[in-house]
Amino acid sequence: MTKERVHSKTVTEAAKQALNKRGVSIESIAKIVYQMQLPYNDSLTMEDCVYSIERVLMKREMQHAILVGVELDMLAEKKMLSEPLQSIVESDEPLFGVDETIAFGAVLGYGSIGVTTFGHLDKNKLGIIRYLDTKKEGSGVNTFLDDLVAAIAASAASRLAHRLRDQEESLTEKEIKDLDHEEMIG
């Protein structure tokens, strides 16, 4: 018996809805991307950051990471994980590491800039990431979500850094569009 595949547009929309349902807007992530990239690009706009995030959210690896991580956070809130996993996820155990590993895996498609930016965001917890990481007990579990938001922001920042170089090298709009298309493969 063969199961029908879920259309990629359905998965994209589900990932965006999962973020939104958990209180994470594209704009809140864009503020982090803007803060990370403005020192390197003085013509950067919030619209550029939002567009870059939208492109990142079209990547299957990122979508799957979001869906898995958010689902695990929600199951932990409902106390539906078995022990000791329930206690580990619910308390955001510092040595757990699986939350960072899933998010890190989603960043890998964006090269060394994405990886180093993710590390910076994981350590320094800017913007909405800090809010998610420091929510008070009883107000939800965000063990995976804070790292996923860092992964999205890091990937979008890396993407913008590479697009800036493309513009500096005077690539044509068609060449940049071709690179955008190539980026979406996989």
**What secondary structure does DSSP assign to 146-180, as a single string?**
HHHHHHHHHHHHHHHHHHHHHHHTT--HHHHHHHH
Q: What is the model's pTM?
A: 0.91
- Domain total in the chain: 1
Question: Where residue 85 sits, what CATH number does that domain have?
Answer: 1.10.3760.10
- Position 114 in a domain: yes
| Residue predicted with more confidence, 168 or 62 | 62
Give domain status of residue 67, yes or no. Answer: yes
Whether 40 is in a domain gets the answer no
Q: How high is the pLDDT of residue 139?
A: 74
Among 33-37, 63-67, 121-125, 171-175, the minimum mean pLDDT is found in 171-175
Domain that residue 51 falls in: 45-184
Q: What is the pLDDT of residues 14-57, one digit of tens each?
A: 999 999 999 999 999 999 999 999 999 999 999 999 999 999 99
Establish if 13 belongs to a structural domain: no
